[in-house]
Structure 1
Amino acid sequence: MRKLILGFYVSVDGKSADADNGIRDVMMSVDDDEQEKYFVDQLWEAGAFLMGRNSWEAMAAFWPTSDHPSAKAMNEIPKVVFSRTLTSADSWPETRIASGDTVEEINKLKAEPGKDLVAAGGTEFLHSLIKLGVVDEFRLWVLPAATGKGAPLFPELDQPLNLRLVKSTAFPSGVLELIYAVADKQTPSDS
C-alpha cells in the first residue's frame, strides 16, 4: 500500500509559504545546488501529486511553461486535483480530477500499485488532509527564516498528533529537511 506524504516548505516558526509573509521569497531565493538536486530527486520518487483546486490552478498556470529545475518532474508526474467544481483539467498534462469523498478517493489511490503519493499546495487542502487522518508521513522543508505571521502548517487538532522522526538532512544554505512518520501508523517501510 502506498503512503501519503505531505510535503511542505515552512519557516522555522512553522508558518507556511502560501501567505504573503515573505517566506515564498526566502524559498525562491535559496541558492543551494545540493539542496536543489536533492529536492528534484525527491520529486521523481512521487507516484502522483495531490492538491486542492486553488493550488492546482496556480501551479497549472506556472509549471507547463517554466524552465525551473523542478518543472520536468512537476509536468510529467501524474497529478490528482481534489475538486467538486472543476470539470476539466486539460490545461496541465497528467492530471485527473477526484470529486468524490476525500478519504475514499485517497484510500483508492493508496491501494493502487506504484510509488508513494505526495500532497502539496496550500494550507487549506493540507489542513483538511491532516484533520481527516490520511497523512502517513510529513516531509517538512524548514527554511532559515522566521516570520511571526502567516498560516501555521498544522490546524487546530482535537488531540496531539504524535510523530516519529525518520530522517533529517541539513543543507549548506541552512534549509533543513525533516521527515516524520505518524507514530501510530505502520508504514510499508516499517514492516
Structure 2
Amino acid sequence: MGRKRVIDQEQILDAAEQVVARDGAARLTLEAVAEQAGISKASVLYDYKSKQALIAAVVQRAVRNDNAHNDAVIASLGEVSSVAIRGRIAAAAQPLPEEFRAVALNLCAALTQDRELRAHVQNNQAAVIDKVTATAAQPRGALLAYLALEGLKLLESLDFHRWPQEQRSAILADIAWLAEQKVDA
C-alpha cells in the first residue's frame, strides 16, 4: 500500500497566486511555486502537468470563489426584485482585497494570451449575464447596471483608478438605481 498524499491542492494554488503576484504569470515556474509552497517540484507536477495547467487552475479557482461569494450575497437577500444584479452590487460594496490586486492584474495578462483560458471566463460571464437578465424586473436596466458594475470593478482591479469610499458607495447606489430603470431598446 502506498503512502497517503498530504499535499493540499489549495496550498499549491495559494503558492501559485503568491508567485503570480510577485513575479507575474509570464514568469511563473513550477519550481517557484514548489519553493513558495515548501514542497518538491514533483509534487506540483503530480497535480498540474504544466505551467498552463497551473495558471488555468488558479483562474478557475478565482472564478469559483468569486461566484461563491456573489451567490452567498444573493442568497442572503431573500426574495427581492432583480436579485442577481442586486446581489452582485451588494457583493461589490467592498473593493477587491489589496493582496489580490496584483494577482488579478497578472492573470489578466495571462488571459489575453490564452484562448482556452479566456473561454472559461467567457462562459462564466455569459452565465452571469443570463442570470442577471433572467431575474431582473427590468432586464435591460439590469444589463446596463451589470456593465457599469463590471467597469467599476475592472478599473479597480487593473489599478487604473480608485475612488474614495464615499464616492464609490454613491456610484454603487447609482448602479443599483440603474438596475431598476425601464430602458427602451
TM bucket, shorter chain: under 0.3
If you compute each CA radius of gyration, which structure gives the higher value, 1 or 2? 2
> Which structure dedicates a bigger proportion of its chain to strand?
1
TM-score of the superposition, structure 1-length normalised?
0.23
TM-score of the superposition, structure 2-length normalised?
0.24
> Which structure dedicates a bigger proportion of its chain to helix?
2
